[in-house]
A and B are shown apart, each in its own frame.
Chain A
Amino acid sequence: MKIFVCVKQIPDPNTVESKLDPATKRLVRTGVSLVLDPGDETTIAAAIKLRDSLGNSELTAISMGPASAQEALRRALAMGVDRAILISDSALAGSDVLGTARTLAAALKRENPDLIFCSTESTDGYTGMVPGAIAEFLGLPQLTFAREINVEGTKAVIKRVTQTGYEVVESPLPAVVTIASGSFEAIYPTMKGIMSARKKPFSQLSLSDLGLDPSQVGEAGAREQVLSIGKAEARAAGQIIKDEGNAAEIIADFLQRHQLL
């Protein structure tokens, strides 16, 4: 099977305080240390697990980003991914969800994937919309919030996390699957993986390789507009209830009002 995993390089959430640029209203990504999204690491772990259990399968990591995103892909290779594709083009700067998904989908389409793994959302932007959009561009079914995934014949079967437990959901292949965060144990790159990462196939594609027009992507093709950014409202001081015999009632009312009871 041809399995793909979409990954992203982001400012290191462990060391970088994320800042928004007031002019562009975008996350500042320059001058900060960049890493493979830790969420994507667990998605890669899920994909590797499936590849190994299926046998005779190839796992490719794919990323859209600046040249520096190479490093994130090398890390994916060191973790055990077989092959990597980087889509990099100056015209892609400023891509919104639509542009990103259009680009990734165009690259994926050329590869005839059987299964595409994505994280539910990235750890920087948190829109969670790219996987759905990729599925839409490719005309594929999407399975979401998977905490377990198996292939049975020509179907993908997942356990989908719900508020109370899980549902078993299946779809025909090919399909896009998003992995629920925290469902798979993160894996480490191995020494062998690290030493062989540089020897694994790595290709870099530009927009023209994908037959996309610069007007469809990047700043030019963006349909999403960030109108304003602001600080999250500081948490208001709590309400102190003095018990004059009716405290329980007041608390119960409060909880009911917030639909917590």
Chain B
Amino acid sequence: MDFSLTEEQKLIQQTVRQFVERELMPLEHEVLRNEGRYPTGIEPERYRALQLKAKELGFWGINTPEEYGGANLGSVMTALIQMELGRTIVPFSFGGSVDNILLHYSNEKQKQEYVIPVIEGKRISCFALTEPGAGSDPSAIRTTAVKDGNHWVINGQKVFITHGNEADFAMVFAVTDREKPPQRGGVTCFLVDRAMGWTSRPIPTMGGWSPAELFFDNVRVPEDHVLGEVGQGFSLGMQWIGQGRWLIAARAVGTAERLLQMAIDYARQRVTFGKPIAERQAIQWMLADSAVEIQATKWLTLHAAWKADQKQDNRYEASLAKLYGSNMVNRVVDRALQIHGGMGYTKELPIERWYRDVRVTRIYEGTDEIQHYIIARALLKGYVHLGTWD
């Protein structure tokens, strides 16, 4: 078994690390000071300029096919890159990416109207599935779309939609056939421009940036704005969620490694009762436990990513990584804060911000409880066989 990175993987990892250290980390104070002001942490124009600087180096469309100008590096490389980006509180992502379902299910006209502008950063999408009465159970959605001539008329409300305030169009999931179960033909996904009439309102949260509520009041959508087929919506929704689960774990690895390093550095230099606190077993155990859990998440994540690269079903592995990784980073940030004592609680350091920000990783894209359910179901139904390698 070979755990080493290839030369290319190492070079890409080093380059992203340098980019993070030189371009992003110096902005951290500003990002902390400006909490709540910009979705990008810093002014959108400066954020864009950083994305373009990275683009010149070829860091663009990390997972986007070459025909769209992307680098198309695959899942393992994407995971390694996310780990590096997770090291900073600056909420940065390389440009040039697009939602997987937009890419795979759009027709030619939709490609021109949505896919390419999203890749170029000229349009912003959001994914609108969750509703006040439907979170963990998306089959309970009540937003409806009713056919009227060559339009669909959408009514309903969405909630907790990331980028819902900034987006100029939404992928909206609505019931189109009440007779059919949502999973089998009842739900359709629509591409709905803000200009067609939906409105949004921010929902203040404990995190650094807020999602939105979306309101649809007789919004008329031309029939060629259906993504994929009528009735295919539920499956598209699940595919969108499936793409990101292990990436949450990847980001958690980078964040936790940075926090652990901060804790190590602080423990070495903070002296109490005549000795650095690093010499106390109570502190050492926190460091050691964190290291074990980070390492475990790293391999869970890379395995899920590797399976995706092998074109194998990785839903089970993605849930393992997401469940463990999101809990791991919450524990590590708590320990890092504890080791820093009062300093950790201040706004001088990014720790308290991270403490608030990482909490959501246990909620979105499938809560802890839902991940447990997915994993247990796979075991009980015999989808996975313990002790085998596949």
Residues of A182-196 whose CB lies within 8 A of B: 186, 188-192, 194-195
How far does the alpha carbon of A35 sit from the alpha carbon of B15 in the complex, in Å? 12
Which residue in A14, A78, A186 is a CB contact (below 8 Å) of B11?
A78
Residue of B nearest to A70 (CB): B7
Residues of A166-211 whose CB lies within 8 A of B: 186, 188-192, 194-195, 197-198
How far does the alpha carbon of A74 sit from the alpha carbon of B6 in the complex, in Å? 12
Which residues of chain B are within 8 angstroms of A75 by Cβ–Cβ distance?
11, 14
Residues of A58-80 whose CB lies within 8 A of B: 71, 74-75, 78
Which residues of chain A are within 8 angstroms of B19 by Cβ–Cβ distance?
188
Residues of B34-62 whose CB lies within 8 A of A: 56-59
Q: Are B18 and A194 in contact (CB under 8 A)?
A: no
Q: Are B59 and A198 in contact (CB under 8 A)?
A: no
Q: Are A194 and B11 in contact (CB under 8 A)?
A: yes
Is B349 engaged at the interface, CB distance under 8 Å to the other chain? Answer: no
Distance between B264 CB and nearest chain A CB, rounded to angstroms: 12
Distance between A37 CB and nearest chain B CB, rounded to angstroms: 14
Binary per-residue interface labels of chain A (14-30) against chain B in the complex, 1 for a CB within 8 Å, 0 otherwise: 10000000000000000
Is B12 engaged at the interface, CB distance under 8 Å to the other chain? Answer: yes
Is B10 engaged at the interface, CB distance under 8 Å to the other chain? Answer: yes
Q: Are B22 and A194 in contact (CB under 8 A)?
A: no
Q: Assuming the A-B contacts A189-B57, A191-B57, are A198 and B8 also in contact, with contact meaning beta carbons closer than 8 angstroms in the complex?
A: yes
Task: Report how many A-B pairs have Cβ atoms within 8 Å.
Answer: 39
Which residue in B7, B10, B22, B58 is a CB contact (below 8 Å) of A190?
B58
Report the interface size for chain A: residues with CB under 8 A from the other chain: 16
Distance between A192 CB and nearest chain B CB, rounded to angstroms: 5
Q: Are B7 and A197 in contact (CB under 8 A)?
A: yes
Binary per-residue interface labels of chain B (1-36) against chain A in the complex, 1 for a CB within 8 Å, 0 otherwise: 000000110111011001101100000000000000
Distance between B96 CB and nearest chain A CB, rounded to angstroms: 11
Which residues of chain A are within 8 angstroms of B58 by Cβ–Cβ distance?
190-192, 194
Majority SS at the chain A contact face: helix
How far does the alpha carbon of A71 sit from the alpha carbon of B57 in the complex, in Å? 20
Residue of B nearest to A195 (CB): B8
Which residue in A14, A71, A186, A194 is a CB contact (below 8 Å) of B12?
A194
Is B71 engaged at the interface, CB distance under 8 Å to the other chain? Answer: yes
How far does the alpha carbon of A245 sit from the alpha carbon of B8 in the complex, in Å? 68
How far does the alpha carbon of A75 sit from the alpha carbon of B18 in the complex, in Å? 13
Q: Are B22 and A186 in contact (CB under 8 A)?
A: yes
Q: Are B15 and A188 in contact (CB under 8 A)?
A: yes
Distance between A73 CB and nearest chain B CB, rounded to angstroms: 11
Which residues of chain A are within 8 angstroms of B10 by Cβ–Cβ distance?
71
* Residue of B10, B57, B59, B71 with most chain A CB atoms under a 10 A cut-off: B57
Which residues of chain A are within 8 angstroms of B22 by Cβ–Cβ distance?
186
Distance between A71 CB and nearest chain B CB, rounded to angstroms: 7
Residue of B nearest to A189 (CB): B15
How far does the alpha carbon of A35 sit from the alpha carbon of B21 in the complex, in Å? 15
Q: Are A188 and B57 in contact (CB under 8 A)?
A: yes
How far does the alpha carbon of A14 sit from the alpha carbon of B10 in the complex, in Å? 17
* Residue of B11, B21, B56 with most chain A CB atoms under a 10 A cut-off: B11
How far does the alpha carbon of A189 sit from the alpha carbon of B17 in the complex, in Å? 12
Distance between B297 CB and nearest chain A CB, rounded to angstroms: 21
Which residues of chain B are within 8 angstroms of A14 by Cβ–Cβ distance?
21
Binary per-residue interface labels of chain B (326-342) against chain A in the complex, 1 for a CB within 8 Å, 0 otherwise: 00000000000000000
Distance between A202 CB and nearest chain B CB, rounded to angstroms: 11
How far does the alpha carbon of A43 sit from the alpha carbon of B15 in the complex, in Å? 17
Q: Are B7 and A74 in contact (CB under 8 A)?
A: yes
Q: Are B11 and A188 in contact (CB under 8 A)?
A: no
Binary per-residue interface labels of chain A (130-168) against chain B in the complex, 1 for a CB within 8 Å, 0 otherwise: 000000000000000000000000000000000000000
Using a CB–CB cutoff of 8 Å, the interface residues on chain A facing chain B are 14, 35, 71, 74-75, 78, 186, 188-192, 194-195, 197-198
Using a CB–CB cutoff of 8 Å, the interface residues on chain B facing chain A are 7-8, 10-12, 14-15, 18-19, 21-22, 56-59, 71
Told that A190-B57, A192-B58 touch, could you supply 12 new A-B pairs with CB distance under 8 A? A14-B21, A35-B14, A75-B11, A78-B11, A78-B15, A188-B15, A188-B19, A189-B11, A189-B15, A190-B56, A195-B8, A198-B7
User: Can you name 19 A-B pairs with beta carbons within 8 Å?
Assistant: A71-B10, A74-B11, A75-B14, A186-B22, A188-B19, A189-B11, A189-B14, A189-B15, A190-B57, A190-B58, A191-B12, A191-B57, A191-B58, A191-B71, A194-B11, A194-B15, A194-B58, A195-B8, A198-B8
Closest 8 CB pairs of A and B: A191-B58, A194-B11, A190-B57, A190-B58, A78-B11, A189-B15, A188-B57, A188-B15
